[in-house]
Amino acid sequence: MSYRSHTCGALREAHQGQVVELSGWVDTVRDHGGILFIDLRDRYGVTQVVFDPEVSKEAWEVAHASRSEFVISVRGEVLLRPAAMVNKTLPTGGIEIRAQAATLLNRSKVPPFPLDEDKAAKVSEDLRLTYRYLDLRRSGMQRNLVVRHKILQAVREYMDGQDFVEIETPILTKSTPEGARDYLVPSRVVPGSFFALPQAPQQYKQLLMMSGMDRYLQIARCFRDEDLRADRQPEFTQIDIEMSFITEEDIYRIIDGMLVEIMRVAGHGEIQTPIPRMDYRTAMDRYGSDKPDLRFGMELVDLSGVFAQTTFKVFAGVLANGGVVKAINAKGLAGVSAGVIDQWTDLAKEAGLGGLAFIRVQEDGTWKSPIAKFFSDAEKAGLTDKLGIATGDLILFAADKLDTANVALGRLRLLAAEAAKIIPDNVFTFTWVTDFPLLERGSDGHLASMHHPFTSPKPEDIALLDSDPVKVRARAYDIVLNGVELGGGSIRIHDPDLQAKMFAVLGLPQDEINERFGHLINALAFGAPPHGGIALGVDRLVMLMVGATSIRDVIAFPKTQKAMDLMMGAPSTVDGRQLKDVHLELALPHDEPRDA
């Protein structure tokens, strides 16, 4: 016997009179004077089934014994609902099934939380993750996973049409820690040695370019043992791409086309290509972020010229020391509370500012501010002109070094936009951010790669590696959507001499170069082609496509913010024999549990 001839979301008025078989979970049971109604649910939808004891006493008894989340199968005739009973909110709302037979397939305990979408949203996330298999029965979660599948299917089909080959790279690999810590796997056959789970397939995909596989794709699993953040996962998925004999323009064209397909299958219509581009310096100066949210204005404005001759000591001192005075006009927010201003001041200080200067433009046009009294009439006129000041506006200032002022105002810009409710919903604004700095100088004075040491400098900046390395621009690029970095990549160094020079600028000792990157350095000497690539985060991408607020809502079995799997109870201890097999012995503090 077949369990179903149709799914619970398939039947329509055109099926009237057909005898069908459905199987699924009992969503609700309603008793209308001895006639029972069950909403039967599977991942495709919900169908109403009517159980009348005069039609089938046996089927009615199955329905009478059923409760929410019981699993049943039903055979019956498709009937049209009376016009007054049509449910226009459901695709199946014009029909119902009159049950002729029913089978109880399995019972269910009372779920620990309601599976109704609205009620489940109020349940603690830890409880939902502990019973994730129940949480995944919710239609919203199932929809998210289906959209994720469709996006990845579209990526594969599109990239296949562009001659990419999907190639799997190893999960057990060598530890070459950069930034985040590696997850380590002890080797049983080589005592004292460890594999690492890949933070990214970076070196493998470059080696594939040197092998002649000139267009590589992988839906890659990556692992990073990094400090915990609100919306990070220790394991994640990325669309990993590498190409040979290309420039940045080829990357932009391929990814633009891929995003067109992703938006289409996600149901968001067409986007205009080519996607606009913005260099890193412009993004920082105008929006205070290298991942600018372009759905709204409120740009950062440089007022250094307005205050060039100011007698206001704070601004004058900053300008004399080579800093800047910048501001944003948070239009309509003059009435925000003192508590909000205090919160924003704390954020400004965390970003490096000494404090937060502001002006409230009152209803009568006067300026209420601790600093406005120090401004000349000419400075006030310049401010009004540059910022377009009007009644009800709130002006927020940052006076400091350029980068500090930009970052602080960039964060305030986002908070102010949320407070003003000017960020539109269901709007998707993409941009490429290009020409990132190749190197950055740490607090200890040493240079470090902004991305990784295989990123190529722009040819016209190579001479600056000797004279002024922090001014060198990288052939690097990020794709950004609504203020979220979807992915980033670069054109790689393929010339062995330039790669050696890069290592020298970074001050890496030769033994460290050989240990961490020897295999890649050797490969460069055997005719490496010009190549480059990019990786896009699948979890963040799908989160934005479905309108979720957390990547955990688009991953089937995610970890918590503490990197724990509450459903499986991982991580967990292992027994002494397993440790002995991999030549390990635990050395834990006395107050921590030890293995048997």
Report residue 443's pLDDT band, with 50, 70 and 90 as the boundaries. confident
pLDDT at res. 451:
87
Tell me how crowded residue 524 is: count the other CB atoms within 10 A of its CB. Answer: 21
Q: Which residue has the higher pLDDT, 476 or 33?
A: 476
Q: What is the pLDDT of residue 178?
A: 63
- Of 49-63, 172-186, 542-556, give the lowest mean pLDDT range: 172-186
Amino acid 592: pLDDT: 55
Mean pLDDT of 205-234: 91
Average confidence (pLDDT) over 143-151: 97
In this prediction, residue 595 carries a pLDDT of 47
Largest CA distance in the chain: 94
Q: 23: Cβ–Cβ under 8 A, 6 or more apart, which residues? A: 3, 4, 40, 42, 71, 72, 73, 74, 105
Alpha-carbon separation of residue 401 from 304, 320, 398, 554 (angstroms): 12, 11, 9, 40
Residue 74, strand partner residues = 22, 102
Calculate mean pLDDT across residues 222-238: 87
8 A C-beta contact, residue 11 and residue 95: yes
Measured in whole angstroms, the distance separating CA 153 from the mean position of its chain's CA atoms is 19
Q: Is 292's pLDDT higher than 70? A: yes
> Distance between CA atoms of 194 and 184, rounded to whole angstroms?
6
Kindly report, residue by residue over 304-341, the tens digit of the pLDDT: 999 999 999 999 999 999 999 999 999 999 999 999 99
The lowest-confidence range among 23-37, 72-86, 92-106, 515-529 is 515-529
- Rounded to a whole number, what is the distance in angstroms from the first to the last CA of the chain? 50
Contact 529, 210 (CB under 8 A): yes
> Is the per-residue pLDDT at 96 higher than 70?
yes
pLDDT at 514: 87
Which tens digits make up the pLDDT trace of 245-281?
Answer: 999 999 999 999 999 999 999 999 999 999 999 999 9
How confident is the prediction for the chain on average, in pLDDT? 94
Q: What is the mean pLDDT of residues 161-180?
A: 90
Confidence class of residue 296 from pLDDT cuts 50, 70 and 90? very high
pLDDT greater than 80 at residue 564? yes
Q: What is the pLDDT of residues 348-379, one digit of tens each?
A: 999 999 999 999 999 999 999 999 999 999 99
Residue-level pLDDT at 127 = 96
Q: Is the pLDDT of residue 596 over 50?
A: no
**Residue 594 reports pLDDT greater than 60:** no
Structure confidence by residue, pLDDT tens digits, 406-442? 999 999 999 999 999 999 999 999 999 999 999 998 8
Q: pLDDT at position 177, please?
A: 66
pLDDT value at residue 2: 80
CA dihedral 351, 357, 361, 365 (to 10 degrees): -150
Confidence of residue 121 (pLDDT cuts 50, 70, 90): confident
Task: Read off the pLDDT of residues 14-73 as tens digits, 9 standing for 90 and up.
Answer: 999 999 999 999 999 999 989 999 999 999 999 999 999 999 999 999 999 999 999 999
The proportion of the chain whose per-residue pLDDT surpasses 70, expressed as a percent, equals 98
- If you average pLDDT over residues 186-193, what whole number do you get? 94
The answer to whether residues 567 and 112 touch, using CB atoms and an 8 Å cutoff, is no
State CA 404 to chain mean position distance.
25
Q: What's phi and psi for 335, nearest 5 deg? A: -90, 10
pLDDT band at 591 (very low <50, low <70, confident <90, very high): low
Which among 427, 477, 479 has a CA at the least distance from the CA of 259? Answer: 479
Give the whole-angstrom CA distance, residue 328 versus residue 341.
14
Percentage of the chain exceeding pLDDT 90: 88
Name, in order, each residue with C-beta under 8 angstroms of 376's C-beta and a sequence gap of 6 or more: 310, 311
